Amino acid sequence: AEKKRIAVLPGDGIGPEIVDESVKVIKETGKQFGYDFECSFGMVGGGAIERLKNPLPEETLTLCRNSDAVLLGAVGGPRWDSNPPHLRPEKALLGLRQELGLFANLRPATLFPGLEKSSSLKPEVLEGVDLLVVRELTGGIYFGEKYTEETGEGARATDTLVYYEHEIERIVRRAFRLAKGRRRRITSVDKANVLESSRLWRRVVDRVSKDFPEVRVQHMLVDNCAMQIISRPADFDVIVTENMFGDILSDEAAMLTGSIGMLPSASLGKGPLGLYEPVHGSAPDLAGQGVANPIAAILSSAMMFRHSFHDEEAARAIESAVKKVLSSGARTTDIALAGSLALSTEEFGDRVCEAL
């Protein structure tokens, strides 16, 4: 059996509950596909702030560095919302991305059959939606110099958006490779009519595109993209964009399908090490009641098999199992409709394991 080390970071709120189900599914999949998993748990986010006064303790980072993949639940909660920046749970996410060099964030937005009702978009607009946002994750305005200073005219705050050509090139190449395995269409999103970094971005996309003649490229301004995602979402295949635009557009796209509680994400670097987490947050108000929806966490583990273990077959097995359970009418309470069966977090995880 192939030995793999997984760092498991449950985090805050519903994080631990959904991660438990994901781990269960990972182990079941491992049995069937010949893996020998070693799962080690680490502290991250609010819990780590409470116990170690550090949202991302050094030992957690070391654990991740010595692993083949990282599974994260969610971080954050109102208790830490007014903390100073370095003592906030989100700092852990930013730290993990930067320290592990996870520059490529993959956020698919797909339709789950039977869940059209929970979307605010018309079913005919949603038909055929299957898009993947590829967001740059370790550069741009997130990591540039930032400071506030007192001036003769009052306080002045500065943030800096910086991109090196090579930072743009690696994410763009990743997006092109992903598009090759999909519908071979890329929309590169920028604000080239205003930003210098966007003009560099556009130049790099045009250059890289020459190496992928089979992929059709389109440039789109970010404001226009925010409109097109609503009006004709099915026309998109891969969207590639810089960090902040990706943050906004991927959340917008995730909302399309009305299933934000069900969407997974992967954050990848140069090597096989990746971090896998649900798109949704820690939902502290739902924690501890057994009502959280574990689907996003479970589908994140499917992405783990795909991108860190390069095992497409196992990934598809998990995805099919989730679909099968949903087709049977089973739901967690957040997506339960009148007449459907509402399962607990744990029951839902068990069903997926059975379906595998």
Ligand X SMILES: CC(C)[C@H](C(=O)O)[C@@H](O)C(=O)O
Cα separation, 350 vs 356, whole angstroms: 10
223 is in an annotated binding site: yes
Q: Which stretch binds ligand X (CB under 6 A): 17-25, 89-97, 145-153, 347-355?
A: 89-97
Write each residue from 201 to 240 as x if it is in contact with a copy of itself (CB under 8 A), else as -, in one continuous string. Answer: x--------------------xxx-xx-xxxx--------
Residue among 130, 235, 251, 347 that touches a copy of itself (CB under 8 A): 251
Interface stretch with a copy of itself, choices 5-13, 102-110, 144-152, 308-316 (CB under 8 A): 144-152
Question: Is 104 among the residues that bind a copy of itself (CB under 8 A)?
Answer: no
292 is in an annotated binding site: yes
Q: Is residue 94 close enough to count as binding a copy of itself by CB under 8 A?
A: yes
Q: Does 227 bind ligand X (CB under 6 A)?
A: no
How far apart, in Å, are the Cα atoms of 346 and each of 206, 290, 292, 293, 320?
A: 48, 7, 9, 9, 19
Is 251 annotated in the active site? yes
Rounded CA separation 283/287 (Å): 7
Catalytic residue among 4, 24, 91, 191: 191
- Binding of ligand X by 194 (CB under 6 A): yes
Contacts of 132 (CB under 8 A, 6+ apart): 106, 107, 108, 109, 178, 182, 237, 238, 239
Told to check if 163 binds a copy of itself by CB under 8 A, we report yes
Cβ proximity to ligand X, 190 vs 247, nearer residue: 247
Per-residue HEC secondary structure of 3-29 comes to EEEEEEEEECCCHHHHHHHHHHHHHHH
Catalytic residue among 247, 276, 311, 334: 247
Buried/exposed code over 43-74 (b: 16+ C-beta within 10 A; e: otherwise): bbbbbbbeeeebbbbeebbebbeebbbbbbbb
Q: Number of residues in contact with a copy of itself, rule: CB under 8 A?
A: 60
By beta-carbon proximity to ligand X, the closer residue of 299 and 317 is: 299
Alpha carbons 275 and 11: distance in angstroms, whole number: 14
User: What's the angle, vertex CA 297, arms to CA 293 and CA 299, rounded to 5?
Assistant: 105
Q: Which stretches of the chain bind ligand X, using CB under 6 A?
A: 90, 93-94, 193-194, 223, 247
Residues in binding site for NAD(+): 77-90, 281-293
